[in-house]
Copies of this chain bind each other. A is one copy, B any other.
């Protein structure tokens, strides 16, 4: 999503769309989920894995790195054996909390309205 911007010079790209700016930060495949879990407090690497077994190690690492790079989360490394790393929201990251929480609320309320299955029906109803 970010690479799309490289080399392009459309004048009113993200200028016309602040929404895009936001989605650049939280729109990654698992970023919303990660941020959501961080609202409760700091989490360790394997805690995320337990919370979402379907996220692969690789993807979890990548998404965490991008969030860190964007200044949204902080990565605290404890020089212990065995190693221990804790992720937490930064001040900047906290500004995203309202959005994440609103997304959570919407998800809870409309979970049943959203059809999760593959849509087989393609009703093109003309009128």
Contact = CB atoms under 8 A, between A and B. Distances in A.
A81 interface: no
A53 interface: yes
A13 B55 CA distance: 10
Interface residues of A, number: 60
A22 B114 CA distance: 9
Given A25-B114, A70-B115, A126-B77, A18 B106 contact: yes
Interface of A: 1-6, 8, 10, 12-14, 16-25, 27, 29, 32-33, 35-36, 51-54, 69-71, 77, 79, 92, 95-96, 98-100, 102-111, 113-116, 118-119, 126-127
Nearest to A39: B19
Contacts of A36: 17, 19
Q: How many copies does the complex hold?
A: 2
Contact of A110 (B32, B52, B95, B114): B95
Given A54-B10, A116-B14, A126-B77, A111 B21 contact: yes
Given A23-B103, A119-B69, A18 B111 contact: yes
Nearest to A11: B53
